[in-house]
């Protein structure tokens, strides 16, 4: 029986993909490279720190990882206020689940990103009992560490947790943690492979307690 629901941040709680894509593009341009959707697999669901590591390895400039990371952070900070919004149906879903489950936020993004989101969207603090950032664990997704830490802080057994994720790495991490997983499909034409999720939905408003209890 599910006792806790754990939400991913980017692409599930907030619509931030456009801001991150533009940030990676701007950072890549500073170093004379191009970032395109074909490189999404290097950045999707792994957090900005791992993304910088992956991209600088791809561009064969690993010695400039720190500078690339800082350029990405700067670009994202400039775009955050204007481009990042709450996902459609999020607050309604949180309201439906709040009285029935313990709720947590678990993201591969570093703590500063979570803090910025809680500042911009203070209503989120009323729902999430705990939040876990990618720089608070040794290994980020697709390793299960983030979700296992969320379960420990919620004091709920992993097998009684359900994760809502939108990325392949997040789904793999949830299943590796021994948790059930609902995969949220991309709204755009280029779908991520989240077939390992126990259930796939196209919108958050499809999710309710009955769906969760039936998994």
- What are the φ/ψ torsions at residue 195 (nearest 5 degrees)? -65, -15
Residue 8 annotated among the catalytic residues of the structure: yes
pLDDT tens for the chain, residues 1 to 215: 999 999 999 999 999 888 888 999 999 999 999 998 889 888 887 878 888 999 999 999 999 999 999 999 899 888 988 899 999 999 999 999 998 999 999 998 889 889 999 999 999 999 999 999 999 999 989 999 999 999 999 999 999 999 999 989 999 999 999 999 999 997 655 567 899 999 999 999 999 999 999 99
Say how many C-beta atoms besides its own lie within 10 A of residue 95's C-beta. Answer: 11
β pairing state of 85-86 and 14-15: antiparallel
């Amino acid at each position: 029986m599910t006792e806790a629901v754990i939400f991913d941040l980017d692409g599930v709680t907030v619509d931030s993909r456009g801001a991150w894509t533009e940030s990676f593009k701007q950072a890549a341009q500073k170093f004379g490279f191009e970032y395109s959707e074909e490189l999404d697999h290097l950045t999707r669901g792994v957090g900005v720190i791992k993304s910088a590591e992956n991209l600088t390895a791809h561009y064969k400039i690993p010695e400039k990882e720190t500078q690339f990371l800082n350029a990405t952070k700067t670009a994202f900070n400039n775009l955050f206020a204007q481009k990042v919004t709450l996902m459609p149906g999020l607050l309604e879903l949180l309201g439906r689940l709040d009285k029935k489950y313990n709720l947590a936020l678990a993201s591969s993004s570093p703590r500063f990103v979570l803090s910025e989101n809680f500042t911009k969207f203070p209503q989120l603090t009323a729902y999430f009992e705990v939040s876990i950032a990618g720089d608070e664990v040794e290994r980020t997704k697709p390793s299960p560490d983030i979700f296992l830490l969320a379960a420990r802080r919620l004091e709920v057994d992993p097998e009684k947790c359900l994760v809502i994720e939108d990325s392949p790495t997040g789904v793999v991490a949830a299943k590796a943690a021994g948790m059930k997983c609902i995969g949220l499909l991309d709204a755009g034409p280029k779908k991520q492979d989240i077939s390992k999720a126990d259930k796939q939905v196209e919108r958050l408003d499809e999710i309710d307690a009955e769906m969760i209890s039936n998994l």
